Structure 1
């Protein structure tokens, strides 16, 4: 680099980029990269709040101020659309979740010479960062780390354990994989741990499948105002506010639809939010999630019909979709190529596509655009604060059905 350059934006993986295309780690928009490679901080560079930043793989963007972080979330989604030649009719201001709002986390624990470590892995490594603070997870979840560390300190020998924590209606839900309880004494110690920490549930997988060890009352999560049974480890939107932003988008865009197909429905996050004026088919492959959604629909008497169906191997066919006014889909990161092809063939008027991967969304959205669907609105959502992981809600209208937009 022969002269100083200014960082103009943040790339998808979190590095700063100069006008000439140089990638600079740890840079923020407005930073100056000197000729010798040193970085002069600009107006959007902030001091990272967490002592683990730079080592912990949980966050990549704590050095950005709120304005730069919001811009990154917006641009990540907008560039995905632009890369496929699509311009949204409206690009909404991004929703970014606040600090300490993450309601579910996946942690790891290892026995480092008799001293347990619990935390996230380092970026690009299997080494573990033993968390002493965290600015993304909710306080209730972080408060469990010290008691877990103390409990595991009693365990002898080497181990590598996965720990999933989630906030449910009854408190903190804990799923531990890879921990073996030896004998009555360790089992009683686990029961004491659950009681002393007022856990909503403890589920343990000792290598033979998940087994519930502690659950004083049935665990649930409230979705769209409906308490839904929560199977341990089942997918939840990362934050309550992010979930609300995504649900609000679907409700606004589909408010006049009478019959809606909710595909990759999970526990029914969007199905229950839409059910009322709309009747909703909720299709999901994971058996436990399907059964939870079906149970909640029956108890609440909401007009939700749960269907157990693998939409990758057996997508809802075009002829089946013709009976619906609209479809909402929230597929895994791989996207929904096969299901999109059936949606296109059906000619359904309204499509709400929720995505956790702008790249696969852009590929699928190009198929919709080629079939005559207009990208009416795009809403970026950053639930994983300070992470390069970005989500979105999008609304497509079939060009020959514009009068249905309301």
Structure 2
């Protein structure tokens, strides 16, 4: 590793600053375009040693755990707290613009929809047993080292206030030496905790954990590797006006505010569709909102999530009919013949996208489509397939659901021009 003086000119796709040199690009975390720095360089990567001349777009990070120094090299959750809002927002919107341009998609990308600090309701912590109890925090970037956190400016206030309790429960769960994950969902009437670990519990461990949860009033449920150890009250989420009991560890949108924006975009686009297909429906984020005006058929591979959706729809009065189907759309996508009865469709697949399924959608006659993704690259690929099939992109909206990270949620609305 050699020390070098570098000029940072722009931000890369992961949020690292980029210095252009005769040897090629060098990526430096915790830097801002306009910074002049000293850095320890090793091939194309470098670590920040000192900021010689700070950029006018460098700001003070709001989190005490964010930083490049050896004692506090960042918790690994955020990458861009040190960047001024205007630069940060332009960069994050630019991730979507660049993904579309790479596929020659000429669509206007809306201004980034911002999310406020302390609004993230779903957080995944890392934990490990130590001689002094469990350490609870986040994995440092590109490392298995867990950084202990006293606060998180992204997580909801309720999760922050519960950090001491979460640490106590992590200590109770940590019977093995290996690190494990503790997913925390801020739901009503209390936090929903799901531990995923490479070790097993003996019966005395289960009883001890149950007693520990009973002593924590902020916790509604705790599961271990999918097994419900204790459920004081079923956790509840609101999808529109529908109350859903999410399954343990089930997928939900990370931010309630972001989910509301996404839901408004989707329902506004599909509100005149008599029948709608919701692909990769989860527990009903979009299906239950769409059922206010449309007959909805929801398809999802995860059985517990689908059961939660079905139960919520059945007990809510005033909805249009909601039907469900357990189906792996990667292995068995909806065929063109099955899509004939729908006037609207929404799909929200995992990061890998829905390439095989989209190929059939592109050959359908469905008038309106809403595509949601947390990966602009795979979304652009899927949109290209739909465009080649005759669809037109109406709007593209980036949503900053994953604040200060390199991830961005996107809602793209499409329509098939009338023949």
TM-score above 0.5: yes
Return the alpha-carbon distance in structure 1 between the equivalents of residues 180 and 211 of structure 2.
19
Runs of 4+ in 1 over 4 A off after TM superposition: 1-6, 18-22, 32-39, 151-157, 179-186
- Give how far 1:44 is off: 1.9
**Equivalent residues, number:** 395
In structure 2, the partner of 1:404 is none
Choose the corresponding residue for 2:299, options 283, 290, 296: 283
Deviates more, 1:185-194 or 1:70-79: 185-194
- SS of 2:155 mapped into structure 1: coil
In structure 2, the partner of 1:379 is 397
- SS of 1:359 mapped into structure 2: helix
Q: Which runs of 5 or more residues in structure 1 are unaligned?
A: 402-406
Return the alpha-carbon distance in structure 1 between the equivalents of residues 230 and 237 of structure 2.
17
Return the alpha-carbon distance in structure 2 between the equivalents of residues 125 and 35 of structure 1.
20
Return the alpha-carbon distance in structure 1 between the equivalents of residues 123 and 81 of structure 2.
18
Return the alpha-carbon distance in structure 1 between the equivalents of residues 116 and 295 of structure 2.
33
Return the alpha-carbon distance in structure 1 between the equivalents of residues 170 and 406 of structure 2.
32
Residues 228-268 of structure 1: per-residue CA shift (max 9 Å, x gap): 12111000100001101111111222222221111100011
In structure 2, the partner of 1:42 is 55
In structure 2, the partner of 1:201 is 221
- Give how far 1:51 is off: 2.2
Question: Is the counterpart of residue 259 in structure 1 residue 275 in structure 2?
Answer: yes
- Give how far 1:333 is off: 0.5
Q: Rate the CA distance shift 1:162–1:346 in 2: closer, same or farther, 3 A.
A: same
RMSD: 2.6
Q: Rate the CA distance shift 1:167–1:250 in 2: closer, same or farther, 3 A.
A: same
TM-score between the two structures when normalised by the length of structure 2: 0.87
Confirm or deny: 8 A CA contact 2:109 2:397 kept in the other structure.
yes
Deviates more, 1:151-160 or 1:375-384: 151-160
In structure 2, the partner of 1:129 is 147
Return the alpha-carbon distance in structure 2 between the equivalents of residues 161 and 377 of structure 1.
40
Pairs within 5 Å for 1:219-258:
219-258=235-274
Choose the corresponding residue for 1:352, options 370, 381, 391: 370
Return the alpha-carbon distance in structure 2 between the equivalents of residues 149 and 217 of structure 1.
21
Q: Rate the CA distance shift 1:174–1:156 in 2: closer, same or farther, 3 A.
A: closer
Confirm or deny: 8 A CA contact 1:111 1:117 kept in the other structure.
yes
TM-score between the two structures when normalised by the length of structure 1: 0.89
Return the alpha-carbon distance in structure 2 between the equivalents of residues 309 and 157 of structure 1.
36
Return the alpha-carbon distance in structure 2 between the equivalents of residues 156 and 371 of structure 1.
54
Residues 9-56 of structure 1: per-residue CA shift (max 9 Å, x gap): 422111123577554432223434689995522222111122222421
Return the alpha-carbon distance in structure 2 between the equivalents of residues 250 and 156 of structure 1.
45
Q: Which runs of 5 or more residues in structure 2 are unaligned?
A: 41-49, 68-73
Deviates more, 1:150-159 or 1:272-281: 150-159
